[in-house]
Amino acid sequence: MERKDKTTGTVAGIIANLVIVEVNGPVGQNEICFIKHRDETLMAEVIKVNGLQAFVQVFESTRGIRPGSEVEFEGHMLEVTLGPGILSRNYDGLQNDLDKMDGVFLKRGDYTDPLDRDKKWSFKPLAKAGDSVKAGDWLGEVAENGMPHRIMVPFKFEGNYKVKNVAEQGEYTVDDQIATLENSDGDEVPVTMVQKWPVKMPIKAFAEKPRPFKLLETGVRCIDTLNPITEGGTGFIPGPFGTGKTVLQHAISKQAEADIVVIAACGERANEVVEIFKEFPELDDPRTGRKLIERTTIIANTSNMPVAAREASVYTAMTISEYYRSMGLRVLMMADSTSRWAQALREMSNRLEELPGPDAFPMDLSAVISNFYARAGYVYLNNKEQGSITFIGTVSPAGGNLKEPVTESTRKAARCFYGLEQARADSKRYPAIDPIDSYSKYLDYEEVQKSLQKNMGDHWHANVLRTKDILLSGKEAMEQINILGDDGVPIEFHERFWRSELIDFVILQQDAFDDIDCSSPLDRQKYMLEKVLEVVDTDFTFSNFEEVSDFFKRMINQFKQMNYSDFKSDKFHNHEKELENIIAERKKEAVEN
- Would the annotation count 239 as a binding residue? yes
CA separation for the pair 328, 269 (Å, rounded): 34
Backbone angles phi, psi at 45, to 5 degrees: -130, 135
Q: What angle do CA 252, 257, 258 make, to 5 degrees?
A: 90
- Would the annotation count 241 as a binding residue? yes
> Dihedral sign, CA of 352, 358, 364, 370?
positive
DSSP 441: G
Strands in 145-208 per DSSP E: 147-152, 161-166, 170-172, 179-182, 188-191, 195-198
Cβ(523)–Cβ(517) below 8 Å: no
- Would the annotation count 243 as a binding residue? yes
- Would the annotation count 244 as a binding residue? yes
**Which residue, among 219, 147, 157, 154, has the nearest Cα to 183 in the 3D structure?**
157
Cβ(19)–Cβ(11) below 8 Å: yes
Torsion of CA 436, 441, 447, 449, to 10 degrees: 10
Q: Do the strands 386-395 and 330-335 form a parallel or antiparallel pair, or are they unpaired?
A: parallel
- Would the annotation count 242 as a binding residue? yes
Backbone angles phi, psi at 191, to 5 degrees: -130, 130
CA separation for the pair 131, 33 (Å, rounded): 39
CA separation for the pair 507, 529 (Å, rounded): 7
For 188-193, which contacts have Cβ atoms below 8 Å and span 24 or more sequence positions? 188/164, 189/157, 189/161, 191/139, 191/151, 191/153, 191/154, 192/83, 193/83, 193/84, 193/121, 193/123, 193/142, 193/151
Three-class SS of 64-95:
CCCCCCEEEEEEEECEEEECCCCCCCEECCCC
Tell me how far the alpha carbon of residue 570 is from its chain's centroid.
Answer: 38
Phi-psi region of 400 (alpha: psi -120 to 50; beta: other; left: phi over 0): left
Say which amino acid occupies 69: S
- Using DSSP's 3-state secondary structure scheme, residue 242 falls into coil
557 sits in which H/E element: helix 545-563
Q: Which residue ranges make up the annotated binding site?
A: 239-246
Q: Which residue ranges make up the annotated binding site for ATP?
A: 239-246
